[in-house]
């Protein structure tokens, strides 16, 4: 009986233990799942993933390891979603992976199975290459690299929002070419300009690092057939020519897009002589295009060059160009108001660098719509509507030579080089700092101005001449050139006689109301310090104009121009005197400014420009 009782008690105890092992009060182990198992982003970016936790026993913590370690308090929640932000190190290697491990512990000290999240480190730069055949809008938060020749094709629109930075690859001589029918729409603002710059690092950038922007359209060019734009292979044709029975009004209102608050830096390459790209090249671009607040800095050739077309522009800055600042060709007939030119004393092209260079074509021969005859005294017969006849007003040129003793590159030439039947007009402008003032190359061009086809009026010209008559302290600076293409005089010509008297006579015609200033003699040369380097040397007249001497580059190094220069002219003789009465002023021009030059009491270059791009961290 005792044995039977003992067996019964033992069995009962085993049953009690078995029931204890199945106690429903022991919680199920926690689990964690992720909204995605992979992601990709660039160094320095943050990646967010949602972690969903189930913890019947009450969540204690979510542990995240890999990259950086995070411990997230779950506060006893049984179910909870947590957005976890993971920082990709700025030093992360492009193409590498970061494995992040998620695990959960509960209040019973049970742990979940680990779950992995893999981040691939992507390239922070988006490459633009080849053809852009469909419309595309860039993202200002992304970095872009132009590689090789990038073509915005007919029908495509490339839209670039404010603050976007696009870099040009040096090795492939990157260029952005907007073909006729394509559009480039840059919607910069004063606070967030669109920047096209070199892909080279800070302190390693140089002129010609990339080939620049080529904006092409279908408006008038005074050529027999459609020309191909310089510097691009395979060739791209542009404009409307004689072959298409074009007239100067053909496709005049065509649009190639908008460039509003845009900087173009270190662009333009001389591929071969007379085959160059520029900071901004415009070929056959119509006046439906908007060009306003554009700076071209440290260009490898010209800052702005127009080949035909009718496009208008306001608020241009040409800063430290290599060749010319404002170059017009092929019948360009648009309008430009408010432009600033600042030249570095040692950057100049061997072909001869000018502030203005204006041609009709590559020689002085008659061309389509520009075939007037010069009869020895004036212009007769033929036509002139197809000639280059752009109108510029309110331009400020601060050339390389602020004072006579300043050493500059010998390749600098003329403030204005006007030739080959051009009929451009320049009004209300302050033109200074070159050793030669006005050069008109040929008789036909001079005759065109004498008869009013082109007009140079209401301008202030200052010239730091180098040519001398006589020697010693009694020597005087030479005013009128006497040899063909003479440099270092106020007035020059390339006619066979070299006698520039007719150029001087035109400029000083009373009706033109131009003013000219140059030192009369070596003893009274312009100097940064009165009485130095020769006794009697005087300060230049800039202060009286309202232009400080510090606005010129002077003796500073290539990167030493002021970071935030003030170009405003609140007082002085340039503050008043503008005249917009000439018939060449159309509705495009703002006729309210009273000042001569590009600036009145305010400085429109503030905030959006950059005068030390070489050290800028992009």
What distance in Å separates the CA atoms of residue 41 and residue 34, rounded to the nearest whole number? 18
Q: Print the SS3 string covering 529-547.
A: ECCECCCCCECCCHHHHCC
For 90, which DSSP code? T
Neighbours of 243 (CB within 10 A): 11
Q: Would you state the pLDDT for residue 272?
A: 67
224 and 270 Cβ atoms separated by less than 8 Å: no
Q: Would you state the pLDDT for residue 275?
A: 80
Strand partners, 608: none
SS3 613: helix
Neighbour-count burial of 435, counting CB atoms closer than 10 A to its CB (0-12 exposed, 13-18 middle, 19+ buried): buried
3-state DSSP percent of the chain in helix, strand and coil, to 5: 10, 35, 55
What distance in Å separates the CA atoms of residue 183 and residue 258, rounded to the nearest whole number? 8
Q: Would you state the pLDDT for residue 24?
A: 58
167 and 189 Cβ atoms separated by less than 8 Å: no
Q: Would you state the pLDDT for residue 358?
A: 98
Rounded (5°) CA angle 52-58-62:
45
SS3 18: helix
Q: Would you state the pLDDT for residue 144?
A: 96
SS3 362: coil
What distance in Å separates the CA atoms of residue 159 and residue 294, rounded to the nearest whole number? 16
Helices and strands in the chain, H and E counts: 4, 40
Tokens of 211: 């080939």
SS3 402: coil
Q: Would you state the pLDDT for residue 244?
A: 95
361 and 327 Cβ atoms separated by less than 8 Å: no
Rounded (5°) CA angle 250-253-258:
140
Residue 308 has, within 13 A of its CA and on its CB side, a CA count of: 39
- Kindly give, in sequence order, each residue whose CB lies less than 8 Å from that of residue 176, ignoring residues fewer than 6 positions away: 128, 146, 150, 152, 166, 168, 184, 196, 212, 213, 214
Among candidate residues 174, 129, 153, 166, the one with its CA nearest the CA of residue 277: 174
Q: Would you state the pLDDT for residue 8?
A: 40
- How large is the C-alpha radius of gyration of the chain? 35
What distance in Å separates the CA atoms of residue 147 and residue 175, rounded to the nearest whole number? 8
**DSSP line for 429-494:** -EEEEESEEEEE-SHHHHHHHHTTSS-EES-EEEE----EES-GGG-EE--B--STT--SSSEEE-
Q: Would you state the pLDDT for residue 400?
A: 97
Among candidate residues 332, 296, 270, the one with its CA nearest the CA of residue 213: 296
Query: How distant, in Å, are the alpha carbons of 110, 265, 346 from that of 408?
Result: 80, 23, 6
SS3 21: helix
Tokens of 566: 């003030």
Neighbours of 226 (CB within 10 A): 21
Q: Would you state the pLDDT for residue 23?
A: 53
Tokens of 49: 């993933």
Q: Would you state the pLDDT for residue 392?
A: 98
Tokens of 223: 């050529």
**DSSP line for 150-215:** EEE-TT-EEEEETT-EEEE-TTTT-EEEE-TT-EEEEE--SSS-EEEEESSPTT---TTSB-EEEE
- The low-confidence residues of the chain, meaning pLDDT below 50, are 1-22
437 and 464 Cβ atoms separated by less than 8 Å: no
What distance in Å separates the CA atoms of residue 456 and residue 485, rounded to the nearest whole number? 20
Residue listed under structure tokens 């992360």: 92
What distance in Å separates the CA atoms of residue 216 and residue 195, rounded to the nearest whole number? 20
- Kindly give, in sequence order, each residue whose CB lies less than 8 Å from that of residue 515, ignoring residues fewer than 6 positions away: 459, 460, 461
Neighbour-count burial of 228, counting CB atoms closer than 10 A to its CB (0-12 exposed, 13-18 middle, 19+ buried): middle
Burial of 44-82, coded b for 16+ CB within 10 Å and e otherwise, reads ebebebebebbbbbebbbbbbebbeebebebeeeeebeb
456 and 426 Cβ atoms separated by less than 8 Å: yes
What is the bridge-based pairing of β-strands 59-65 and 97-106? antiparallel
What distance in Å separates the CA atoms of residue 488 and residue 412, rounded to the nearest whole number? 10
Strand partners, 50: 83
What is the bridge-based pairing of β-strands 280-283 and 270-272? unpaired
């Amino acid at each position: 009986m005792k044995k039977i009782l003992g067996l019964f008690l033992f069995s009962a105890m085993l049953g009690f233990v078995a029931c204890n092992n199945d106690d429903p009060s022991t919680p199920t182990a926690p689990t964690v799942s992720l909204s995605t198992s992979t992601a990709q982003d660039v160094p320095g970016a943050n990646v967010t993933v949602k972690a969903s936790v189930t913890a019947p026993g009450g969540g204690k913590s979510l542990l995240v390891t890999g990259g950086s370690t995070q411990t997230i308090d779950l506060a006893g929640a049984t179910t909870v979603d947590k957005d976890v932000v993971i920082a990709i190190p700025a030093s992360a290697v492009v193409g590498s992976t970061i494995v992040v491990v998620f695990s959960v512990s509960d209040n019973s000290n049970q742990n979940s199975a680990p779950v992995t999240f893999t981040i691939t480190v992507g390239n922070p730069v988006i490459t633009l290459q080849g053809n852009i055949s469909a419309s595309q809008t860039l993202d200002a938060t992304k970095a872009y690299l132009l590689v090789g020749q990038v073509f915005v094709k007919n029908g495509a629109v490339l839209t670039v929002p404010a603050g976007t930075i696009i870099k040009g690859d040096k090795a492939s001589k990157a260029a952005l070419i907007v073909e006729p029918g394509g559009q480039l729409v840059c919607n910069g603002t004063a606070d967030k300009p669109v920047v096209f710059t070199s892909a080279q690092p800070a302190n390693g950038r140089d002129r010609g690092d990339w080939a620049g922007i080529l904006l092409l359209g279908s408006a008038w060019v005074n050529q027999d057939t459609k020309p191909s734009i310089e510097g691009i292979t395979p060739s791209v044709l542009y404009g409307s020519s004689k072959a298409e029975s074009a007239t100067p009004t053909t496709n005049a209102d065509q649009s190639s897009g908008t460039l509003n608050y845009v900087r173009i830096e270190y662009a333009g390459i001389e591929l071969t002589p007379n085959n160059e790209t520029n900071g901004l090249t415009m070929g056959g671009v119509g006046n439906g295009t908007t060009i306003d607040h554009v700076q071209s800095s440290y260009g490898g050739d010209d800052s702005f060059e127009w080949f035909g077309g009718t496009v208008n522009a306001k608020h241009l800055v040409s800063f430290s160009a290599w060749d010319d600042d404002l170059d017009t060709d092929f019948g360009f007939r648009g309008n430009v108001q408010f432009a600033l030119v600042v030249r570095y004393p040692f950057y100049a092209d061997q072909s001869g660098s000018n502030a203005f260079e204006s041609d009709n074509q590559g020689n002085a021969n008659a061309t389509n719509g520009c075939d007037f005859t010069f009869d020895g005294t004036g212009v007769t017969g033929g036509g002139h509507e197809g000639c280059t006849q752009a109108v510029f007003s309110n331009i400020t040129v601060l050339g390389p030579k602020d004072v006579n003793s300043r050493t500059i590159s010998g390749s600098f030439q003329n403030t204005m080089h006007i030739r080959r039947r051009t009929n451009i007009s320049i009004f209300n402008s302050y033109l200074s700092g070159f050793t030669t003032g006005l050069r008109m190359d040929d008789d036909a061009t001079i005759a065109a101005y004498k008869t009013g086809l082109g007009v140079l009026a209401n301008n202030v010209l200052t010239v730091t001449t180098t040519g001398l008559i006589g020697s010693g302290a009694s020597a005087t600076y030479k005013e009128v050139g006497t040899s063909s293409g003479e440099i270092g005089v106020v007035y020059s010509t390339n006619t066979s006689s070299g006698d520039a008297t007719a150029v001087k006579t035109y400029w000083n015609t009373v009706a033109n109301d131009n003013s000219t200033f140059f030192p009369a003699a070596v003893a009274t040369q312009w100097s940064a310090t009165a009485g130095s380097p020769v006794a009697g040397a005087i300060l230049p007249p800039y202060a009286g104009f309202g232009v400080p001497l510090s606005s010129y580059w002077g003796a500073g190094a290539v990167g030493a121009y002021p970071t935030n220069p003030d170009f405003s002219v609140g007082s002085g003789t340039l503050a008043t005197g503008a005249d917009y009465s000439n018939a060449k002023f159309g509705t495009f021009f703002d006729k309210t400014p009273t000042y001569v030059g590009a600036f009145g009491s305010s400085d429109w270059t503030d905030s959006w420009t950059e005068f030390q791009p070489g050290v800028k961290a992009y």
